[in-house]
């Protein structure tokens, strides 16, 4: 079994490791329902996801009849509280994720997470799905006081995982630009919460299924 040239493989969480759209959609629909707005199908909410809860809610409110800051201030805490209590009812790993994590671990690679999701959601979600102990480090959106695309959280992820050559996977510009700002290569996943053509992310590579990741890393220049 070939050892890879990377010491750490880092991942974004929502839209990269996990399809959390079902639980996020439920939280959005609950929040907007409190002000009389009709619920969205999950597929309609997917394009709203990817840049944090506030932006997700802004997009949903805008699409359901518009909003102002007062409406946003009223509904955002409702969304966050509902989501905190319903983190893992519908959220699932993307196909091939578990086998991919096993394969990387078997090759001596450390796994890490850097997400813009807040710690109050990230840590319980990983525990509820039985995933937390698989990762050498988990850095959330408020762990170091600043989020991607600033490089600080990715640097913290690397340091807390023990340091070494690192590559980062994500599905949004915050992920890919964050990796670039941190001086490490990136891979974009096409199955995530994209809000435009994946080519626009300008990642170093793209995968369409997690089955592609280990062979790609095996062939990555040392």
Give the model confidence (pLDDT) of 135-172 as tens digits. 999 999 999 999 999 999 999 999 999 999 999 999 99
Closest CA to 91 of 58, 131, 53, 52: 131
pLDDT confidence of 45, banded at 50, 70, 90? Answer: confident
Kindly give, in sequence order, each residue whose CB lies less than 8 Å from that of residue 189, ignoring residues fewer than 6 positions away. 15, 16, 94, 169, 170, 171, 206, 207, 208
Stated pTM of the model: 0.95
User: Which pLDDT value is given to residue 154?
Assistant: 98
71: which 2 tokens?
């409406």
Active site residues: 12
Q: What is the mean pLDDT of residues 75-90?
A: 98
Mean pLDDT of the chain: 95
pLDDT confidence of 120, banded at 50, 70, 90? Answer: very high
């Amino acid at each position: 079994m070939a050892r890879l040239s990377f010491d750490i493989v880092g991942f974004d969480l929502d839209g990269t490791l996990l399809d959390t759209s079902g639980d996020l959609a439920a939280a959005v629909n609950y929040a907007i329902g409190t002000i009389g707005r009709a619920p969205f199908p999950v597929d309609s909410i997917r394009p709203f996801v990817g840049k944090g809860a506030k932006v997700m809610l802004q997009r949903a409110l805008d699409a359901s009849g518009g909003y102002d800051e007062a409406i946003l201030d009223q509904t955002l805490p409702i969304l966050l509280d509902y989501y905190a209590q319903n983190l893992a009812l519908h959220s699932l790993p993307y196909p091939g994720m578990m086998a991919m994590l096993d394969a990387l671990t078997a090759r001596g690679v450390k796994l890490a997470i850097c997400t813009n999701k807040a710690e109050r959601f990230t840590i319980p979600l990983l525990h509820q799905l039985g995933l937390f102990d698989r990762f050498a480090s988990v850095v959330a959106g408020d762990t170091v006081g600043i989020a991607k695309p600033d490089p600080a959280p990715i640097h913290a992820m690397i340091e807390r995982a023990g340091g070494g050559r690192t590559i980062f996977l994500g599905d949004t510009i915050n992920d890919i630009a964050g990796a670039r700002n941190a001086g490490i290569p990136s891979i974009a996943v096409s199955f995530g919460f994209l809000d435009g053509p994946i080519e626009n992310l300008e990642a170093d590579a793209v995968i369409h299924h997690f089955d592609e990741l280990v062979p790609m890393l095996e062939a990555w220049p040392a």
